[in-house]
Amino acid sequence: MESESAVDSAIDDLEARTLSALPTSLLRLVYLASTRDYNSGRYWHAGLASEFSSPVAEMALEICHRKVFETLVVTSLDKLVEEVRDYTVQIKTPPEELLKTWRWLQPFRVLAPVRTDALNSGLFCSNMKIALEILAYGKPAPAIRGGAPRSE
């Protein structure tokens, strides 16, 4: 098992040098998911691996990936719509094209970390679908209230 202090140092390095330069949580999530091999589920980052070690880098990436994902899972729908809107501004793909592609291919399904439970993964995907529909049709996010509907 790798030392906890080495993993903490790698996390600090990753957050300071890389993640802090990414302005939104969704952008950080996409970046972190891209460091994972989709066949093996293993993470790789050449800079972290050379500075620390491959196992330490992998643990740091997985921990950061999980933290960012867990933040987005509990993010309000309004904030998630804002995250997706801001994401479209940060990348080079025209927003209309991104929305069309994401609604069709649903690449957000591969953004969950390894070993994420089905409930959180499903909730994230469902919320992403709603956020994309809101952006595609230009409607504000609906207010979500608890309790039974009132008749007025």
Asked whether 44 and 50 are in contact (CB, 8 A), the reply is: no
Interaxial angle between packed helices 54-73 and 4-17, expressed in degrees from 0 to 180 and rounded to the nearest 10: 60
Q: Which two tokens stand for residue 26?
A: 């969704």
Classify burial at 39, counting beta carbons within 10 Å of its beta carbon; exposed 0-12, middle 13-18, buried 19 or more.
exposed
Mean per-residue pLDDT, 8-29: 96
Of the candidates 137, 113, 111, 115, the one whose C-alpha atom is nearest the C-alpha of residue 125 is 111
Would the pTM count as exceeding 0.95? no
First to last CA, the chain: 61
Q: State the alpha helices, DSSP H only, in the chain.
A: 4-17, 25-34, 46-51, 54-73, 77-90, 95-105, 118-137
Task: Write out pLDDT tens, residues 49-98.
Answer: 999 999 999 999 999 999 999 999 999 999 999 999 999 989 989 989 99
Task: Write out pLDDT tens, residues 111-141.
Answer: 999 899 999 999 999 999 999 999 998 755 5
Question: Which pLDDT score is estimated for 4?
Answer: 86
Asked whether 15 and 64 are in contact (CB, 8 A), the reply is: yes
Question: Which pLDDT score is estimated for 80?
Answer: 97
**Over 80: is that where the pLDDT of 108 sits?**
yes
Question: Which pLDDT score is estimated for 142?
Answer: 52
The residue extents of the domains of the chain are 4-73, 77-137
Task: Write out pLDDT tens, residues 37-52.
Answer: 989 999 999 999 999 9
